[in-house]
Structures are given as C-alpha cells and as structure tokens.
Structure 1
Amino acid sequence: MPHPARPRAVTARLMLPMIPGAGRVDDAAVLFAGRRILAAGPRRQVLGDFSGPVEDLGDAVLVPGLINAHVHLELSGLGGQSPRGAGFPAWAAWLAGRDLSPPPAAVLAAAVRRMAATGTAGVIDVGSRAGPAVVAALAAQGLSGLVCHEYIGFRRPPADLPPVLPPALEAAVRQAPGVRAAPSGHALYSTSPDSLRRAREACRRLCAPFCLHVAETAGEVALLATGTGELAALFRGRLVPKGYRPPGRTPVAEALSLGLLGPDALAVHAVWLSGADRRLLAETGTAVCLCPRSNRHIGVGTADAPALFAAGVPLCLGTDSLASNDDLDLWNEVRALLADHPDFPGQALLPALTTTPARLLGRDRELGLLAPGAVGGYAVIPPDLAARLA
C-alpha cells in the first residue's frame, strides 16, 4: 500500500489564487501533500504550526497549475519536422505522409514531463491512435484532464450505435485517477454530421466538454459556404465525400445548426470568424481555445483575440501539437498572443489558463485554483510576464 505523500510548503512574494471574490495574497504560502493542496493563504497563517520542508520561491508570483486546453500528444514524435508558414494544405499533405503510429512510450513521457515542468497540471488532449498510452503518460506525471477520442470521416455509423470509446481507452482511464475520456469530432468538413451529433450527445451523457476544430483556415470557410477552395481541392474524395453538398453557412453557424455549441463545448482555433460568428459563440456560451503559435507555424492567420474577448466569448489557450509548435509551454502561447495583440488585457489571460478550462472539465473545485482540496498544484508566472498578468 503506497505511503501518503509527506506534506511540504512553498512560499512566495505573491499568490493569485483565482478564487471568485478572492484577491491577491501577499507573502503567501501553499501547503501540499503530493499535488493536493492542504492550505493556501498568508504565510504566517498557513505555516503557523507546520514543521515540514518549506521551499521559498522568493519574488515569485504563484498561480494555480495551468490547463492546456488543446494538445495532440500522439504527434509528439514529429517535433521539428513540419513546414513553417506554408499554409494548411501544405502542412496537411506533409502530415499525411508521416508515420502516424503511436509514438514510443519514452517519447510521450518526455513530452508530458517537459509540459509539466512549465507549470501545466491538466490537459484536454485530442487524438485517435494513442489514447491509452497518452492516459498512462499523464497519470505517470500526476496530470489531470480529458483524453478525447477523435472521430474522423463520413462513414455512416449504425443507427442504433452512438460513438463509443475504444475499450482499451476506457480501461486505461479506469486505472488513472484524475484522467477521463470522451469522444470528439475533428471538424465540420472532416467528420459527418451524424457522427458529430452522436459524439456531442455522448459528451453530454459523460458530462464532458465536446471539442471541435472550428474555422481554423480560410479554406474551411470557403468549403462550407460554397464547396470550393483549397480544402475542397485537397480533401474532396478523401476526407470530404465526392457528392458533398456545402451547407452554405459559416463554420460557427453550421455548428449551431447541428446543436454542437453551448457552454459545454470548446471551439478550437476560431481564426476565421465574422462578427456574427463571435456573437453566436458568446450567446451560446461556447468557449474558444486559441492556439496562436500553431496558427503562425502552419500559416493559417491570426485569431482576433481582442474581438472575441470584447464579445464576451470565454477563452482558453492551447499549444496544439509538436507537429505544429516548438514546445508545449503555455507561457509561450501567452507571449505569442501578446506579441500579436499588444493591447490585449492581461487580466483575461490567467482565467484562460486556469478557471475557464477547469469549468469546461467540470472540475472547477479541483483544478484552476489555489484552495484546500484542489489537486492541480501550482505554477510560477515567468518574470517577463509577471507585471502584465499580475
């Protein structure tokens, strides 16, 4: 029987607990057993009768452990290989020519370990080939989150069968406390409407967020509006059926018509949106996950983060995969977003890294905050970002 983790404490100049109604805490301390928080608050109060080990982080600013709201860990073996800035068709053609077998366990373990070292405590991972191995890698590092099995293709599923999770994935999450699994769709042009609706319903039954790539490329917008454009040329007869009839709507409007939006849905990328699209996302409470470095790497454009924030759309941040990014460090996503939008309000970024994805996961009492009972650990804001975010 494993021994319980020995309590330890960390102290710092400042703590931002991300608890609704709670302000910053100066001269702060957090008491842990493993990743579970036993106490958090002013140093004198937390460490009053504590006699265990204390790590003083000095001038650091503590925040809750971060949540990477969109990552494809199964592509971790492709780092440093993909074309940069050539556009989505070139990137997709490159990816289609790779060996997409699940990466070795050591590669997954290294990717998760490096991600955890930057302060990430939870993930929403999406894939279709390596789910059980991803679950094991997350559990080995003590990370929490959701592993989504992504459905791709227009093959019509049996009428009496909702999308199901692979038995090996279901078995893996039973052995990994803190990690769950759910189905997801790839995109409106690559997954049939029937499969998308069924995956959406399955997520509702599981009380899990439904994840979908939405409006990542201009070609996606053209394909759904008119059936033409770069994605039509690339995918027709492959991902897209030869007889495909475009719905004549934007990706957001089509997602709405299929019942895919809502406060328990996550639209990923959302680069090519109209003002009406942003209003629909806000009105339905749909969250958007921004992946600024992946968008830049592939060359699909820049999401209008300030307009999304102004419209009231809940925001998250994700790294996407090592097939379209240099690392899985969420702080580098913050830097990229601020480089693209220097006037973006800093106070909107910490919720995007913590409380908003925690709410989506249905774990807002356990993740995304520094409070007794939470299990997400802590992160330290890098010094170059501290003034802007804190």
Structure 2
Amino acid sequence: MIHSAELVLPMTGNIVKNGAVVVEDGRVVDVTTGRGDVHHEGVLVAGLVNAHTHLQYTCMAEVGQRVYPDFDAWARVFNDVYFGSADGSWDPMLRKGAWDWAASALDGAWQCLRSGTTSVADIVTDLEALVDSPLGGVRYLEAIGDSDTSWASGGRARFEGMLDGVSGISPHAPYSLDTGVLAELAELARDRGMRLHIHLAESPHEHEFTTAATGPLRRFVDELGFGIVRDGGSGLAPVDYLDSLGLLGPDCHIAHGVHLTAHDRSLLRTRETAVALCPRSNRVLGLDGPDVAALLREGNPIAVGTDSLSSSPSLDLLADVAALRDLAVRQGYRDGDLDRRLVEAATLGGAAAMGLTGEIGCLAPGARADFAVFDIDPGAREPYRTLIEKGQGRCVATFVGGSDVGHMGTD
C-alpha cells in the first residue's frame, strides 16, 4: 500500500513534496515521490511520540482543569480524588474497584491516537490499567511509597510479581522511595533488560529534600505514611543523588526537568539521559517552565510529554510542543532550527528516550508504519512551524503499522 500527500515529514530526512510512503507488512519500505494508492489531503507526518504520560488517570480530568498555586496544592487534590478522601494514608488497595482504570487507560489511548500520537511512555500504577491498544512505546510499572524496610519485608517481591506485561520500571521520584529502593530498582531494571523512567527536578522543593531531608516534600511524604527516613539528607542535589544510586544512563529518561542547573544538564548529557518536557503540566501545577533554550543550545537529548489529564488540559502532544516553542522564544532562543528541533523532539526524541530509535517516530525503511495526517496547509513556507502552531486538534487520520486507527474507539 502506498500513502501519499502533498507534503510528507519523515523526520529522518528532508521534507518530501508530493511524497509517498510505501508500506508492506506494517513496515515502511520506502519514502519517495508520486501519487499513492491512498492520497491524503494535508500534511503527512511520522507518528508523534508522547514520552511521558499516565493514561490510567484520564478519568481524573477534573484535577487537571485548573491551575494550582504550587506542586503541594496539586498533589493534595490529586490524592483526595485518587483515594476518594483526605485520609492521608498510602494504600493502593484503598482505591481498588473505585476507578475503572482499564476503561480510563483505553480512553486515554484513543485520545492520543486521535490527535496523531502513535507511541507513548505510559506509567502504570494500578495493574488494571494494563490494557491492549494500538499504541506503541514502553509501558512502565511505577514503584512508589516503599521505605527500605517495607521493600525488604515484601515490597520487592510484590513489585517483581507485577512486572509481567510491562517493559519498563518507573521509580516515582527521589522523594517517594527510599535510597536503597531506588538503587535496587535500577539494578532490577538492568538485570531484566528493562527501561527506566523517573520524575525528576519537577518541584522546587526536591533539592531541599534530597540534600537535607527537610521541607514541604518531607512533610508531605510523612503525612502519606511512606516511612522514608533520611536523617540529615544525602547532601546531594536531586540529579547528583540519582546518579550516585546508578539510575541515570542511556537506558533511562527523566520527566519534567524544570529545575535543572547547568551542572545538572551537563551530567545528564554525559549519562546520555533524555529529558521529557511537559510544559502544560508544569503550568497547571503552578511551576515554572523548563529552560528549553538552554537544553537546545547545550545539546541535551529532549522529548515531549503531555503528562496525564490529572495535570494537563489534554493529551494533544502538539499543544505541548507549541508551549515549548513559546518558552524557548521568551528565553531568547532565536536560531532558525527551533521548529524543526521541537518537532524532532516530539518524534525522534521520544523514540530515543525509550530506546526505540529507528522503530517509531520516523518514516524510514524498516520502521513501523506509524503516521498521522493533519489538516494544515501543505504549501506553507515553514512546515514545521505551521504544524506546531496549527496542528493542534487538526489530526484527521492516524495509522499504526499501516492500519487506520485514528477514528476507532470513538464509541
């Protein structure tokens, strides 16, 4: 089957006018020119890659529809809705059966597909959210709330027993797991050949927590009953702290990276650890946006994520790309490659972050035939900028492995 469009953005090569994508057995055979068996009006783009989301929280959209004064305020509302009360204890069984996580995750998957996203880095907290969908990418099982004591007395065995059906491990954050647990999760992932993904440098209070074990995050995790005790702290800032525990590396990517210093960015580059940027989620949580301009200038590998509907207005990845563009311009980035690099971050960058370079996020021979068609002007002088500024809400078709899936699941 040959799909054609007046403009094709394959991401691994030049933009192709009057382009055609040759698909066989769900894979790209060639990107060439000419009229295909199926001709699409608009711009055909390699499938977008959402490098950080929690699809199971799609049902908690009420939480993400407002702006909070700070991270702490959002976290308290999130927990109240997740648990159904302000009980203050962390017991996942408390919510068992209260939410239909499977239906919620599937709804989120279809929302992604209908907006042109074909692969995701999806963090799963409750096993009921492990559902089948056409989305590619990596599913990460989240670990949260274990102290070294609870981990040794059954937490590790319980977590290992839940790893079937996922190909990644997500230690939640530097403040929500004890030191030994974080180190063991890194070892566990590598022993099993799994990817790692962790929230990092999202809250401005992470630094105080990892260095001195004090501040708002310490009070918060104490209220939740995590039992994490780090008297005196580690003396290390969050990025250095995780690096000392062996988490960072090319098989790991972090989410958010709002509060990264020049030293942090340099260390992440050295470790080849990508950063999934989620600017609209940061805005909802009352946080500053990441330093996009610095990350671009310094050559950090970046990707783009929506986070979940519990902290973001939608799962339309291009809306976050547009927000990143605004941030970069306000931060003084003036190079002419801005639009191309941001679209690359939302495709190639997400693929690299999950260790799937050449498999997703591009239209190149051998890649999975994932692509989306957007109802935007194929004759625009700046196609990447037009996609960023006009593409939100204008995906008219999505294909995964060469099959049209963009408008399935609407019932």
TM exceeds 0.5? yes
Match of 2:82 among 89, 99, 105: 99
Query: Where does residue 4 of structure 1 map in the other structure?
Result: none
Cα distance between partner residues in 2 of 1:123 and 1:81: 22
Note if contact 1:182-1:202 (Cα within 8 Å) is conserved in structure 2: no
Query: Where does residue 374 of structure 1 map in the other structure?
Result: 367
Query: Where does residue 141 of structure 2 map in the other structure?
Result: 149
How far did residue 268 of structure 1 move?
A: 1.0
How far did residue 202 of structure 1 move?
A: 2.5
Cα distance between partner residues in 2 of 1:72 and 1:208: 18
Cα distance between partner residues in 2 of 1:26 and 1:16: 9
Note if contact 1:292-1:337 (Cα within 8 Å) is conserved in structure 2: yes
Label 1:376 to 1:293 Cα distance change in 2 as closer, same or farther (>3 A). Answer: farther
**1:326-366 CA deviation, whole Å, 9 max, x = no partner?**
11110000111122222541222122112222223332222
Note if contact 1:211-1:265 (Cα within 8 Å) is conserved in structure 2: yes
Label 1:121 to 1:274 Cα distance change in 2 as closer, same or farther (>3 A). Answer: same
Label 1:63 to 1:315 Cα distance change in 2 as closer, same or farther (>3 A). Answer: same
Label 1:168 to 1:199 Cα distance change in 2 as closer, same or farther (>3 A). Answer: closer
Cα distance between partner residues in 1 of 2:324 and 2:194: 27
Label 1:189 to 1:81 Cα distance change in 2 as closer, same or farther (>3 A). Answer: closer
Query: Where does residue 291 of structure 2 map in the other structure?
Result: 304
Q: TM-score, normalised by structure 1?
A: 0.83
Cα distance between partner residues in 2 of 1:38 and 1:246: 54
Note if contact 2:143-2:159 (Cα within 8 Å) is conserved in structure 1: no
Match of 1:195 among 174, 181, 193: 181
Amino acid at match of 1:264: D
Q: Does 1:124 align with 2:121?
A: yes
Query: Where does residue 399 of structure 2 map in the other structure?
Result: none
Amino acid at match of 1:353: A
Q: Which moved more, 1:192-201 or 1:113-122?
A: 192-201
Count of residues in correspondence between the two structures: 359
Cα distance between partner residues in 2 of 1:90 and 1:356: 31
Amino acid at match of 1:307: A
Following TM superposition, the consecutive aligned residue runs of length 4 or more in structure 1 with deviations greater than 4 angstroms are 159-169
**1:152-195 CA deviation, whole Å, 9 max, x = no partner?**
1243233999677565651xx3xxxxxx4222201111112222
CA RMSD, Structure 1 to Structure 2 (Å): 2.6
Q: Which runs of 5+ in 2 are unaligned?
A: 84-94, 388-411
Secondary structure at the aligned position of 2:189 is classed as helix
Q: Which runs of 5+ in 1 are unaligned?
A: 1-6, 48-52, 174-179
How far did residue 265 of structure 1 move?
A: 1.3
Equivalent residues in 2 for 1:57-206, closer than 5 Å: 57=41, 60-82=42-64, 83-100=66-83, 101=95, 102-130=99-127, 133-136=128-131, 139-140=132-133, 142-156=134-148, 157-158=151-152, 167=161, 170=164, 173=165, 180-206=166-192
Cα distance between partner residues in 1 of 2:177 and 2:220: 15
Equivalent residues in 2 for 1:281-296, closer than 5 Å: 281-296=268-283
Amino acid at match of 1:81: V
| Percentage of matched positions with identical amino acids | 32
Label 1:232 to 1:204 Cα distance change in 2 as closer, same or farther (>3 A). Answer: same
Cα distance between partner residues in 2 of 1:154 and 1:121: 33
Label 1:164 to 1:18 Cα distance change in 2 as closer, same or farther (>3 A). Answer: farther
Amino acid at match of 1:158: A
**1:262-297 CA deviation, whole Å, 9 max, x = no partner?**
112111111112111111111221111110000000
Q: TM-score, normalised by structure 2?
A: 0.79
Query: Where does residue 315 of structure 2 map in the other structure?
Result: 328
Amino acid at match of 2:278: C
**1:179-217 CA deviation, whole Å, 9 max, x = no partner?**
x42222011111122222222123223433211111101
Label 1:54 to 1:376 Cα distance change in 2 as closer, same or farther (>3 A). Answer: closer
